[in-house]
Structure 1
Amino acid sequence: MFMNFRRIRKCQCVQLLTTGLVLCVVMVCWEELDHHVVSHMRSYTYRYLVNSYDFLNSSFAISSNRHPRKDGFNGMDGGLVNYPYLINHPGKCGGDGQSQDDVLLLLFVKSSPENFERRQAIRDTWGNESFVLSELGASVRMVFALGVHPDVRQRSRVQSALLQEDQTYGDLIQQNFLDTFHNLTAKLILQFHWGHKYCPQARFLMSADDDIFVHMPNLVKYLRQVLSIESGAKDLWVGHVHRGAPPIRRKESKYHVPYALYPWPSYPDYTAGAGYVVSGDVAAKIYHATTALNSSMYIDDVFMGICAKAMGVSPQEHVYFSGEGKAPYHPCIYDHMITSHGHATDVRSLWQAATDPSVYSHSRGFIGNLYCTAVRVMLLCVPYYQNTYSCMAAFT
């Protein structure tokens, strides 16, 4: 009945103690393990074995008994809200009695009202329409998508500054919703509805954050290559793709999604909202989806995935769309980069370095190409803690 501990060898004691310690750690950390391991296993199983999102059209359809909220918050009720414009430029792409311009790219930059310095840096660098037209021969229209400042004590001051800013630059598009994380979906809807109404002729639409760096010469080159293929710019949705991502159930997380909002174990595939491009026909499909599906999903890139899946559109991976990652600073990277995330303060210096004509000389010829491939392997394929392009980008 009783264990004789004297007969237990020393190594067996160590094994028992180690096993007990491991079990204790697992019990203490089980919730964290469940969220980071079990949820991903469930998600990938659902994504690759079941791979059915038939529930989207029925579960996310706007029902007739939903009523739009009028308090400036696009919350859990999920009805389609048509917020009034506070600042608008209907003639940005032509129209209003004028002939519509041939626009290669309609570029929306999602910005917060107080981020004046970020917007100015973008105007001076990769978002400069005059530079793109004169140096690249491409017609690009760039606007900033905004809501109103969430702090009522600062709102009047910030709004006055925005009106003055827009009077100077004429590139702000603002609607009357609170500019908060939980209203990012409202900002996404603003982009596709404005594009559909005021710039439907644009060949491509891009959505980007205001801390993104876009290598505009490389992007324009890529878009022209897309236009040159036989099928033309059709069914294109390109960026950094998240496949089989599970909803985060931890309440303390910024990205927490409750079961009541999304009970399924996996999101449809979607591109990181930091920067992606869609062709004109896909932009039109997303617009129509936003009029038919409720916007209760407040994570905007996930909502984009829901809309696209409902319309039969699938995202395509491009290794030089960084998503949430940051590109290494090196000429052999600049030669290929499209987007890089996390550039709130160094946009001007990076623009000067990345668009220097000497950048392309590093990869010319067999030796140059071999050198840059080796550099990219060292920068992208050696494990680092920094989130950046995938190793596949080194060989592209």
Structure 2
Amino acid sequence: MFVKFRRPQRCHFVQVIFIGLMLSGIMLYWDKLNSFSFDNLSANPYHFLGMGPSFRNSSFTVSRAEARKFSNYHYLINHKNTCESSNVLLLLFVKSFPQNFARRQSIRLTWGNERYIDGELGVSVKVLFALGVHPHLKDRALIQGQLFREDQMYHDLIQQSFIDSFYNLTTKLLLQINWAHTYCSHAHFLMSADDDMLIHMPNLVTYLKQVHQAGTRDFWVGRVFNNTGPVRIKSSKYYVSPHLYPWDSYPAYTGGAGYVVSRDVASRIHQASLTLNATLHIDDVFMGICASVIGVAPKAHNFFSGEKKSPHHPCIYKQMMTSHGHESDLQELWGQATNPEVQKVDSGFTGKLYCSVIKCALLCNPFIRNTYPCNPSTIF
């Protein structure tokens, strides 16, 4: 069911301008506040380490035989011929736990529906779910049987024999990288995403087609994290010991909830991973280490979300790429975000001004953080 969105009436033009000016002031204030925290950090994130990134990367280097141990798992479910098509725009891996059948089904009915993508968007996108085995031995056989039946119906599971847990996320990343290299190296882009993501596939496809047509290389885009360091609190699941990672700062990386790399980057990441110690269980940081080795830096996109859901509004949907944290509302939001009326919401001068005001109010609210950034390029 489509939702009818209200458009601003011209009689409200003066009020819209007044509110817009007021909220623009708020936006500028928060933008300066956000900038302040980064202005106090050196542009070189390694300035306080006493060592450069090349030293750190070399410390992660191991022999190929040693690195092979981190991905030496056999396939329980595989589909070698998924990418038989010669013109695959995007290979999209969804990280999913074995028991998350409902989430996978919601994705198949919405943004991961390949028939919809091919018919409505006119491109080839291959959507696969990356899995290990259920961590609890007493439930493993039952859930594994369910997975075999699920795959017989949908043919979209890629599963290896490692234990599927938070602490094996880097192993799951290696599964994605190795499978893409072996069976789908001709795909123009590789994406990794969580199974509680909403991906606005029409917007993403339009964007990636433009990037591909421009011949862009060294492409790695998502929600970028700079100047972050390891958590040293032992009770945290993100805890990383000084023995495992002795430095105070991670290389720049994109949040593991959803990011895209170009084919050339995916190939070089694969080569880098063949000689790196993958003990570090935080997969997006490990991806950052791999990228640092090959000299590729991530690029931030304003509409790749952080850890929280994006605000619900047509002015946001018009530019949305990803939104995180959709465990039960994915199908409802997909219907709203892809409503054809969304494309008209910012038409004309009044519509553009209206959406600028709305985005300013939604994204520059100091009590709502970690969705899309509050800055002029996002608002206007």
CA contact (8 A) 2:67 2:274 kept: no
CA offsets, 1:285-343, max 9 Å, x none? 11111111110111000000000000111000001000313100000000000000000
CA offsets, 1:251-282, max 9 Å, x none? 01110000000000100000000000000000
Q: Is 1:160 equivalent to 2:150 in the alignment?
A: no
Q: What residue is the counterpart of 2:93 in the other structure? A: 108
Q: What residue is the counterpart of 1:10 in the other structure? A: none
Residue 347 of structure 1 and its aligned partner are, at CA, apart by 0.6
CA contact (8 A) 1:42 1:265 kept: no
Residue 383 of structure 1 and its aligned partner are, at CA, apart by 1.1
Residues 211-250 of structure 1: matches in 2 within 5 Å? 211-229=196-214, 232-250=215-233
CA distance in 2, matches of 1:301, 1:56: 17
CA distance in 1, matches of 2:234, 2:143: 31
Residue 384 of structure 1 and its aligned partner are, at CA, apart by 1.7
Q: What residue is the counterpart of 2:60 in the other structure? A: 60
Identity of counterpart residues, as a percentage?
54
Larger Rg: 1
Paired residue secondary structure (1:336): coil
Of the three residues 310, 316, 325, the one matched with 1:327 is 310
Q: Is 1:49 equivalent to 2:33 in the alignment?
A: no
CA distance in 1, matches of 2:287, 2:368: 29
Residue 54 of structure 1 and its aligned partner are, at CA, apart by 1.3
CA contact (8 A) 1:44 1:244 kept: no
Q: Which stretches in structure 1 are left out of the alignment for 5+ residues?
A: 1-39, 69-78, 95-99
Paired residue secondary structure (2:91): strand
Greater Cα offset, 376-385 or 182-191? 376-385
Residues 234-383 of structure 1: matches in 2 within 5 Å? 234-383=217-366
- Say if 1:41 and 1:221 are closer, same or farther in 2 by CA, change over 3 A: closer
Residue 143 of structure 1 and its aligned partner are, at CA, apart by 0.2
Q: What residue is the counterpart of 1:130 in the other structure? A: 115
CA contact (8 A) 1:274 1:341 kept: yes
Residue 225 of structure 1 and its aligned partner are, at CA, apart by 1.4
CA distance in 1, matches of 2:216, 2:271: 19
Of the three residues 186, 189, 197, the one matched with 2:182 is 197
Q: What letter matches 2:52 in structure 1? A: S
CA contact (8 A) 1:62 1:80 kept: no
- TM-score normalised to the size of structure 2? 0.86
CA contact (8 A) 1:203 1:233 kept: no
The structure, 1 or 2, with the larger RCO (C-alpha pairs under 8 Å, 6+ apart) is 2
CA contact (8 A) 1:325 1:389 kept: no
Residue 360 of structure 1 and its aligned partner are, at CA, apart by 1.1
Q: What residue is the counterpart of 1:395 in the other structure? A: 379
CA distance in 2, matches of 1:323, 1:57: 27
Q: Is 1:183 equivalent to 2:181 in the alignment?
A: no
Q: What letter matches 1:52 in structure 2? A: G
CA offsets, 1:221-251, max 9 Å, x none? 110111222xx13110000000010111000
Residue 387 of structure 1 and its aligned partner are, at CA, apart by 2.9
CA distance in 1, matches of 2:213, 2:206: 11
Q: Is 1:91 equivalent to 2:89 in the alignment?
A: no
Residue 56 of structure 1 and its aligned partner are, at CA, apart by 3.3
CA contact (8 A) 1:143 1:173 kept: yes
CA contact (8 A) 1:236 1:282 kept: yes
CA contact (8 A) 1:43 1:266 kept: no
Residue 80 of structure 1 and its aligned partner are, at CA, apart by 3.2
CA distance in 2, matches of 1:318, 1:298: 25
CA offsets, 1:38-95, max 9 Å, x none? xx99986861636820123421111478486xxxxxxxxxx4332100000000001x
Residue 110 of structure 1 and its aligned partner are, at CA, apart by 0.2
Paired residue secondary structure (1:277): strand
CA distance in 2, matches of 1:305, 1:325: 21
RMSD in angstroms over aligned alpha carbons?
A: 2.0
Paired residue secondary structure (2:345): helix
Q: Would you say how many aligned residue pairs link Structure 1 and Structure 2?
A: 340
CA distance in 2, matches of 1:296, 1:42: 32
- Say if 1:247 and 1:41 are closer, same or farther in 2 by CA, change over 3 A: farther
Q: What letter matches 1:350 in structure 2? A: L
